[in-house]
Amino acid sequence: MYCQWVDACHKDGPLEPEEALDHAGILMHTAGFLIAEDDNFVCLSMDYCEASHNCRVIYSIPKSQIVHEHRIPLEPYLDDEELEEEVA
């Protein structure tokens, strides 16, 4: 899954209060394996090992912050016997 989402950010001062909204968020681009999802969050993992069913480097992204997403089905890649033979 690839998604663009707005993350919180901070700026070191000094800033005038009127300037605060000029720095209210930053657009992030994140891609990874969609390993979990509920009504509020998607969880993307940068690494996935099918043999051990382990994940590493996991991002939990609030759905309310996602402004664009593109889902790529993994089934054709995970069941690719030719790829498994090349790796072995």
**Rounded Cα distance, 37 and 35, in Å:** 7
pLDDT score recorded for residue 22: 75
pTM greater than 0.85: no
pLDDT score recorded for residue 84: 54
Taking Cα atoms as reference points, which of 45, 64, 65 lies closest to residue 55?
Answer: 45
Q: Could you read off the pLDDT of 74-83 as tens digits, one per residue?
A: 666 666 565 5
Q: Computed over its alpha carbons, how large is the radius of gyration of the chain? A: 18
DSSP secondary structure of 8-52: -----S---GGGGGGGS-EEEEEE-EEEEE-SSEEEEEEEEETTT
Determine the straight-line distance between the first and last CA of the chain, rounded to whole angstroms: 27
Q: Could you read off the pLDDT of 12-67 as tens digits, one per residue?
A: 778 788 887 777 789 999 999 998 999 999 999 998 887 888 889 999 999 999 99
